[in-house]
Amino acid sequence: MPNPMAAPADIRDNLESRWVGIEHVWRMRRSDGTDILIVGEKHDAPSGASANAAMAVCNSQEHGVFGLLRYLIRGEDRANVYGELSRKNRAELVTMREYYDRTTTDINAVIGPIYSTIRRFFYTLAFRRVPETRAATLFCNVRHSEVFCIFSLIYMPNRFSERYLTEETLNRFTTTEELSNFVKGLVRRMERAFTEHITNTKDMLAFWECMVLPDREVPSWYSDITTELSGYSVLRNSLKERLTELRAKNVTAYRRVTEFYFEILGRFLRGSDRDSAAASDRKHTRVMAKLRRRAARNADMTPAMMRDQRLLTEYFGEMLALVQDLYMCVRYELERTQVKRHVFLVGNLHSRYLCWYLEKREGAAFYGWSSEKGSIVPTVIIGGPPKAVSEETEFYSVDRLMQEYIDDPSPAI
């Protein structure tokens, strides 16, 4: 990790003094002067917060989206915004722009009830409030893409959501019940196939390698299920496509990002962080036992009745989060020298992996400010001396990072 150093003198430049609904704002100055900003939001109001607390965020004139927009507009250089937005969102954006271009809809009426800065930013794009001369948006949520979304459906059985499904799939069914039964049937098929083909930690590691590495084919049993779910005969794996592009452009950067992925993957699955290898194996055994039990359940038994959600959420939710963070790092490497400002607009629990990679990559430190812990109205105040983000001794603990992904889904857009 980079050695601690004094925060840059211009660390506050172009930053609003208050960011409501945001957990932290972190900033790095690269040695060449390039600016890197990580804005970590709360997707939804904290658990237990009152409706008034949520409305305090929505109604604030200092909402995080305004701080982000002013930062983008004030800077001299064009910025890249790496957003937790999906390819499906990008397709929706075209339709929404066409609609808003020919109507007089008030943007404030649309974004006013929205808590999430990411969702609000998406609508500012739809209303064309972000000049293309100031910023380009990169859609980086691959977790909900056709290739990976089956895992989200496994660990969130009570939230079978249309946001994961393609128009081709949705149009195949005339009723919600038919669609729900189709998805549930594929989830059960996935549960059975997974437990049949993944029997130990080594199998699991090999599986996640196949999902990422360009030269490794995804197992046919997995492809059969995901293509049926999507309605497409061939699925695009955006992560593999971008890694292939990066390898052709810069093989050193390709090795760097894949080594980052395998370092964390190995720690998670093999227990080389605070966890022992034996403890990691025990966790894997428990998860697989729950999946086998679930796959063998009676047709009348729903996943919600199995009381097995927490470990499955930890396991698959954490892995999908790591895949998404890897994708953002790959996009950064591809764009690294193209712009002088890079902004990562993400859920707050993604920020540490990005910070870990970028500090190693650039040999510089992130400094910034965080909301008061446990605040029901998360607010970052850009005041007082900025703190070196990774100065905590356990900041880069994989065990800590993985646990904090639990129950932090991406916002529904």
Task: Give the pLDDT score at 78.
Answer: 94
Mean pLDDT of 111-124: 95
Cα Rg of the chain (Å, integer): 21
Q: How far apart are CA 402 and CA 413, in angstroms?
A: 24
% residues pLDDT > 70 (the chain) = 83
Mean pLDDT of 243-262: 96
> Could you tell me the residue ranges of all domains in the chain?
18-78+85-139+339-404, 149-319
Mean pLDDT of the chain: 85
> Is pLDDT of 120 > 90?
yes
Task: Give the pLDDT score at 60.
Answer: 95
Taken in order 249, 252, 255, 257, the sign of the CA dihedral is negative
Tokens for 45, please give them: 């109001």
pLDDT tens-digit series, residues 284-296: 677 777 777 766 7
Q: What is the pTM of this model?
A: 0.90
Mean pLDDT of 369-396: 87
% residues pLDDT > 90 (the chain) = 50
Mean pLDDT of 15-33: 95
Cβ atoms within 10 Å of 112's Cβ, excluding its own: 13
- DSSP for residue 389: G
pLDDT tens-digit series, residues 325-354: 999 999 999 999 999 999 999 988 788 889
pLDDT band at 358 (very low <50, low <70, confident <90, very high): very high
SS (H, E, C) 36-84: EEEEEECCCCCCCCCHHHHHHHHCCCCEHHHHHHHHHHHCCCCEEEEEC
